């Protein structure tokens, strides 16, 4: 029986093909086998994009059970400094966006209340004055938060 030769996909050299494996694509050199493994892993991850997501919870439970992160933080001060900086920034951003949400909500409530004061030609002077007050109020609020990024919220529906 003659052993067929195949070309290695990575180093492009001919190699004796093991007759038991039809799909062999690389030679036995360690660097080529490593490349083949990396390629296969990359393809597997492309075909299983949710793998990391589904593992995250299990990893977290594993780490907590062993006190992994406590130990890691004790032995890696540079990591701790960078991580604390990241956490402070994330907390600030979170607070900022919460403020923006609150301002946007108040603005929308004011707009809704302007809309709900029905414009009526026979409305008395008090009603018209009240409407003007609310509009000024709204514009003032809008202007005071104009340089921040307002969150996109839709107008609450009327009564």
Which residues contact Zn ion (rule: CB under 5 A)?
Answer: 8, 10-11, 27, 29, 32
Least spacing, CB of residue 10 vs Zn ion, in Å? 5
- Distance between CA 117 and CA 111 in Å, rounded? 10
Nearer to Zn ion, 36 or 130 (CB): 36
Nearer to Zn ion, 9 or 131 (CB): 9
CA dihedral over 51, 54, 58, 64, signed as positive or negative: positive
DSSP 73: H
Nearer to Zn ion, 12 or 53 (CB): 12
Least spacing, CB of residue 86 vs Zn ion, in Å? 42
Element (H, E) at 30: helix 30-47
Least spacing, CB of residue 15 vs Zn ion, in Å? 7
Do the Cβ atoms of 69 and 63 come closer than 8 Å?
A: yes
Do the Cβ atoms of 142 and 95 come closer than 8 Å?
A: no
CA dihedral over 140, 141, 142, 144, signed as positive or negative: positive
Nearer to Zn ion, 8 or 107 (CB): 8
Other C-beta atoms lying within 10 Å of the C-beta of residue 104: 19
Least spacing, CB of residue 27 vs Zn ion, in Å? 4
Nearer to Zn ion, 8 or 104 (CB): 8
Least spacing, CB of residue 70 vs Zn ion, in Å? 45
């Amino acid at each position: 029986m003659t052993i067929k030769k195949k070309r290695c996909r990575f180093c492009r050299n001919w190699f004796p093909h093991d007759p038991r494996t039809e799909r062999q694509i690389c030679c036995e050199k360690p660097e080529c086998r490593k490349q083949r493994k990396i390629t296969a892993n990359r393809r597997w991850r492309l075909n299983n994009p949710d793998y990391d997501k589904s593992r995250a919870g299990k990893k977290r439970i594993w780490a907590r059970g062993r006190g992994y992160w406590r130990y890691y933080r004790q032995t890696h001060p540079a990591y701790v400094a960078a991580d604390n900086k990241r956490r402070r920034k994330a907390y600030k951003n979170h607070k900022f966006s919460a403020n923006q949400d609150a301002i946007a909500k108040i603005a929308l409530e004011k707009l809704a209340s302007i809309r709900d004061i029905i414009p009526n030609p026979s409305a008395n002077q008090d009603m018209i004055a009240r409407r003007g007050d609310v509009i000024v109020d709204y514009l003032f609020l809008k202007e005071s938060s104009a340089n921040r990024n307002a969150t996109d919220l839709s107008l609450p529906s009327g009564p």
